[in-house]
Amino acid sequence: MTIGKNRISFFTLTLIWVAFTSATAVAAASLPADRNDDVEWYPVSNNVYQLRYENHYTMFIVTDKGIVAFDPLSDEAAEHYVHAIKTVAPGQPLLAIIYSHWHTDHATGANVLRREFGNDVPIIAHERTLARLKELDDETVPLPTRTVNDKGKSLRFGNTDIELHYIGYGHTDTLLVARLPKQRLVYVVDFASRDSVGWREMPGWPLDELIAMQRRLLELDFDKVAFGHGRAGPGDRETIKRQTLYYENLLAETRTAIQEGLSEDDAVIRATHDLPQYRGWGNYRRWFQLNVRGAYRWVQENEHLPKSP
Ligand SMILES: [Zn+2]
């Protein structure tokens, strides 16, 4: 990782709130949610919608000048995304696409949105997302046309302010957190999920930084969280705290196991017994034990704990 921990800075800004008066937006927010097994979308705040495609969620905002769409997810998902946008806000232009980070399971699909709304729709992302995607050279993932550095950026689209914050390298060094100050909502992808365990063995995840990043998130002012993964619907500040506690518990369990000389397999057995509170979480059956293995290996490689005599 090339990003210094001390370079993270939050920008400050003074915002003049614009009264929420858009008749179009009011009508859109009152539409019923639409869903089938693979796809659903629903409002999570004034003029803000989450769209789920299979296990991925994204978010779009209806401003009085048009739509701002986050991660298009995939070409297939983006077809549904177009339908959702046109249903919620018929006839509205797409003002921008914003990639949360470079991972292609979130960033793919902008070609489909642009085909529908115009090839000149800007794509906004962190500057290192641009660098990664240039290296990737995949025509299904069009490159960002405007970039944001570690200082973040405050954007305004019509009556809607969107702040983009870089708060750490806990999940790639390219991830932006979007905050909508008026809606008191943040969009959080991959470094925290809604009451769900981590992905498989959490390969390459710097767990100390992941936890630090979740804590930095709580320094931002918000009430609601739209997540990229996990249980449906928005979360809140407590959801983030539960995520942090989960990773802290995983690390504490595996630290103790390593200090006591337990093997990885035995650490898995004990953590499964010791942490029953996560049995109802998303992906527990699939990935909890893999999470313990990942945490065990991460602690071994990074903390060099002395074994108990
Ligand atoms: Zn990711």
What's the pLDDT tens digit per position in 133-159? 999 999 999 999 999 999 999 999 999
The answer to whether position 142 is within a domain reads yes
Give the pair of three-digit tokens for residue 153: 């950026």
State in Å: Cα 103 to ligand 1 middle.
5
The answer to whether position 60 is within a domain reads yes
Based on the fold, state whether residues 27 and 175 are members of the same structural domain. Answer: yes
CA torsion sign for 89, 94, 99, 104 is positive
The answer to whether position 291 is within a domain reads yes
What's the pLDDT tens digit per position in 82-96? 999 999 999 999 999
- What is the total residue count of the chain? 309
Residues 6 or more apart whose Cβ sits within 8 Å of residue 238: none
State in Å: Cα 274 to ligand 1 middle.
29
State in Å: Cα 172 to ligand 1 middle.
7
Task: Say if CB 105 and CB 56 are below 8 A apart.
Answer: yes
pLDDT of res. 308: 63
> At 271, is the pLDDT very low, low, confident or very high (cuts 50, 70, 90)?
very high
The answer to whether position 224 is within a domain reads no
The answer to whether position 212 is within a domain reads no
Please say which residue of 190, 213, 230 terminates a domain: 190
Number of domains in the chain: 2
Domain assignment of residue 255, given as a range: 249-303
Around Cβ 16, how many Cβ atoms within 10 Å? 5
Question: Any idea which of 7-11, 106-110, 195-199, 228-232 has the lowest mean pLDDT?
Answer: 7-11
Q: Which amino acid is at 48?
A: V
Q: Is 76 helix (H, G, I), strand (E, B) or coil?
A: helix
Please say which residue of 190, 207, 233 terminates a domain: 190
Based on the fold, state whether residues 116 and 255 are members of the same structural domain. Answer: no
Alpha-carbon distance of 176 to 168, in angstroms, equals: 9
State in Å: Cα 175 to ligand 1 middle.
8
The answer to whether position 10 is within a domain reads no
State in Å: Cα 197 to ligand 1 middle.
14
What's the pLDDT tens digit per position in 33-61? 445 678 999 999 999 999 999 999 999 99
pLDDT of res. 35: 52
Around Cβ 105, how many Cβ atoms within 10 Å? 15
Based on the fold, state whether residues 77 and 164 are members of the same structural domain. Answer: yes
CATH number at residue 79: 3.60.15.10
Please say which residue of 148, 170, 190 terminates a domain: 190
Alpha-carbon distance of 232 to 230, in angstroms, equals: 6
State in Å: Cα 193 to ligand 1 middle.
11
Based on the fold, state whether residues 40 and 112 are members of the same structural domain. Answer: yes
State in Å: Cα 102 to ligand 1 middle.
7
State in Å: Cα 20 to ligand 1 middle.
33
State in Å: Cα 308 to ligand 1 middle.
37
Would strands 94-98 and 123-126 be described as parallel, antiparallel, or unpaired? parallel
Contacts 24+ apart (CB under 8 A), 236-239: 239/192, 239/194, 239/195
Give the pair of three-digit tokens for residue 213: 């990043």
State in Å: Cα 128 to ligand 1 middle.
14
The answer to whether position 241 is within a domain reads no
Based on the fold, state whether residues 95 and 183 are members of the same structural domain. Answer: yes
The answer to whether position 234 is within a domain reads no
Say what the alpha-carbon torsion angle 98, 219, 202, 150 is, to the nearest 10 degrees.
50
The backbone torsions φ and ψ at residue 18, rounded to the nearest 5 degrees and listed phi first, read: -100, 130
Based on the fold, state whether residues 156 and 46 are members of the same structural domain. Answer: yes
Based on the fold, state whether residues 280 and 166 are members of the same structural domain. Answer: no
* Among 191, 162, 167, 154, residue whose Cα is nearest residue 179: 162
pLDDT of res. 13: 34
Alpha-carbon distance of 63 to 133, in angstroms, equals: 29
State in Å: Cα 190 to ligand 1 middle.
5
> At 14, is the pLDDT very low, low, confident or very high (cuts 50, 70, 90)?
very low
State in Å: Cα 199 to ligand 1 middle.
10
Task: Say if CB 274 and CB 260 are below 8 A apart.
Answer: no
> At 309, is the pLDDT very low, low, confident or very high (cuts 50, 70, 90)?
low
State in Å: Cα 191 to ligand 1 middle.
8
Based on the fold, state whether residues 289 and 173 are members of the same structural domain. Answer: no
Based on the fold, state whether residues 133 and 266 are members of the same structural domain. Answer: no
State in Å: Cα 19 to ligand 1 middle.
35
Based on the fold, state whether residues 60 and 170 are members of the same structural domain. Answer: yes
Question: Any idea which of 21-25, 124-128, 200-204, 252-256 has the lowest mean pLDDT?
Answer: 21-25
